[in-house]
Structure 1
Amino acid sequence: MVQSRYTPAISVQLTPMQIPEALPVAGLEFAGAESMNEAGRSLLLHPGHPSEMIVQVQNLEQRPLRISLSVEGNFPTEWCQIGTEGSEIPPRGQMDAVLYFRVPSTFFEDQQAIAPGKKDKLTLNFRSLVTIHIDSGTDREQIYTSEYFHLYIRPYTAYMEFLPILYREVDFIGRFMKIFEQGFQPVIDSFNVMWANLDPLTAPQALLPFVAHWVAWQVDSTWDLQQQRRLIRRAVELYRWRGTRKGLRLYLHLYTGLPLDDDLPNEADKHISITEPFGPSFILGEAQLGNAVLAGGQPYHFIVRLRSNSANPNINEQLIRRIVEQEKPAFCTYELSIENHHN
């Protein structure tokens, strides 16, 4: 596998990390030993995707060897970069190097050979080899070259997975299927993300009025975009709990961003507190004149307290009152208190 003017001091093995399923000369015929050997020395390259060829260099001598690698071929040099673990191989040791290949993602679009009026064919297949310099610059300098390996540039197509294995072995069919993929895949991708267009949190802004109409929600320019998205998404839930403490708290939470504090048992400790001012009922023998309140407080009355920890709370009192008026039962009265606690 190694060509040299001297007794071989090293052995070289090439291992492609991505082998093509089909070779250009292979069709539906039986792949013989020659085709199998060629496939083992072939590397598949998809434009825009990295691919690697592993080069294993084995030192066959009892002395350390200093080596350097280079890659030659009929392809642009910028497509390949070499990564090594060092430059010296110990006696009877081994060193692994990696050839990193990356073809530009615009390879097919940039080809001038396929422009109208051009007669040249698009080049998709290339040849390459690895040259190894041993003890360069000394009287024991030797040069080794590996066998040629092939680089096959092919467009990636997922449609080949839908075909029987028999047809995947034909290189032309893979390139032919790519034409259909480029035509149909944009439509398929649009259907795959259709859910995002119908979710108020991710839908394009132009679609929000349409989505709001589905749930009979009136879009109000007073609300900013993110508030509108949250309200439309939970509109049905707000309808279900309208007229209740839970519904009013949820609405205020969606507007202010203050936490719901469902884990706090004491209503007065919550950031959005909705309480009814009921005190102790009239108790004979304990009431003092001027302090007793018959029936324990004002009926159908509640108090809304908003507690913000932000130094500059973005809370519009007029809008808060509008929300409360809209969500409360018509016969109820209320008080509103907006507090700001910050360090």
Structure 2
Amino acid sequence: MRRAVEGLDTPYPIGTLLPALFQEDPLAMRWTGALDEVLAPAISTLDCLPAYTDPLLAPADFTRWLAGWLGTVLDENWPLHRQRGAVAQCVPLFRLRGTAEGLRALVELVTGGEVELVDSGGVSWSQAPNSPLPGAAAALLTVRVTVPEGTSVDLAALEELLVAEKPAHVPHRLEVVGP
């Protein structure tokens, strides 16, 4: 007889839970033993559930599933450690969504580079009426990414990310530079 998962036994054999009368019956014990083999992978998964929900410990395919739970799409070309880090950062990044710091952190996570955001606006105060406004009249967000040497950046994917994450009414310019 071939096991569902070789070498995987259940820590909770069903036969030991039966009344003594059935434990003495070989047919009942074989039948519950077969159930134990079928249920062992599910029981093992449930016993290890906290590890499955931790992106740093979960199996690779489950890490991508966790990303889906969090509404995040991972780049399949990234190494596993980078995918795990992205899933682990999802909730903190959601808290910062819509802020300059959140955009900076997201672009740094995606590119692995250092990000500088330059906004054309500004804030000022004055006691005199009709004082000049700070910043430029036209809104513009400049995103400057300095990537480590030997790192490639998918410009089209980065443009899509910026369009999705920045304020819709603000045009942007993307600059990717090497070290």
Structure 1-normalised TM-score?
0.33
Task: Output the CA distance in 1 between the equivalents of 2:160 and 2:70.
Answer: 21
Using the alignment, how far apart are the partners of 2:65 and 2:59 within structure 1? 11
Change beyond 3 A, Cα 1:323–1:233: same
Q: CA deviation at 1:244?
A: 1.3
In terms of fraction of residues, the more helix-rich structure is 2
Alignment-derived partner of residue 85 in structure 2: 230
Question: How far 1:247 moved relative to its partner?
Answer: 0.9
1:311 paired residue among 125, 149, 152: 149
AA in 2 matched with 1:313: T
SS of equivalent to 1:336: strand
Secondary structure at the counterpart of residue 314 of structure 1: coil
> Would the aligned equivalents of 1:247 and 1:327 in 2 still touch at CA under 8 Å?
no
Map of 1:276 onto structure 2: 119
Tell me the residue number matched to 2:172.
334
List alignment gaps of at least 5 residues for structure 1.
1-186, 259-270, 282-292
Partner-residue secondary structure (3-state), 2:151: coil
Q: Distance in 1 between matches of 2:106 and 2:119?
A: 19
Residue 248 of structure 1: CA displacement? 0.8
Residue 206 (1) aligns with residue 44 (2): no
| Corresponding position: 1:195 with 2:50 | yes
Q: CA deviation at 1:294?
A: 7.5
Two-structure CA RMSD over aligned residues (Å): 3.2
Q: 1:206 is matched by which residue type in structure 2?
A: D
User: Which has the greater radius of gyration?
Assistant: 1
Residue 164 of structure 2 aligns to which amino acid in structure 1?
Q
Correspondence for 2:72 among 217, 228, 248: 217
Specify the code of the residue in structure 1 equivalent to 2:73.
Q
Q: Hey, what does 2:3 align to over in structure 1?
A: none
Partner SS for 2:52: helix
Query: Counterpart of 1:323?
Result: 161
Maintained 8 Å contact 2:120/2:139: no
Distance of 1:294 and 1:198 partners within structure 2: 50
Secondary structure of 1:303's partner? strand
What amino acid does structure 2 have at the position aligned with 1:214?
W
Contact 1:242 1:328 in 2 (8 A): no
- How far residue 340 of structure 1 moved from its aligned partner, in angstroms, is 0.9
What is the alpha-carbon distance in structure 1 between the residues aligned to residue 110 and residue 74 of structure 2? 14
Report sequence identity in percent. 28
User: Counterparts in 2 of 1:11-22, with a 5 A limit?
Assistant: none
Distance 1:300 1:223 in 2: 34
Structure 2 residue identity aligned to 1:276? D
The one-letter amino acid of 1:210's match is: W
CA distance in 1, matches of 2:137, 2:91: 32
Alignment of 1:53-202 (within 5 A): 194-202=49-57
* Conservation of the 8 A alpha-carbon contact between 1:277 and 1:302: yes
Q: Retained in 1: the 8 A contact 2:55–2:63?
A: yes
One-letter code of the match for 1:312? G
Could you say if the C-alpha distance between residues 296 and 208 of structure 1 is closer, same or farther in structure 2, counting changes exceeding 3 Å? Answer: closer
The alpha-carbon deviation at position 191 of structure 1 amounts to: 6.9
Evaluate the alpha carbon distance shift between residue 296 and residue 214 of structure 1 in structure 2; reply closer, same or farther with a 3 A threshold: closer
Query: Which structure carries more strand by proportion?
Result: 1
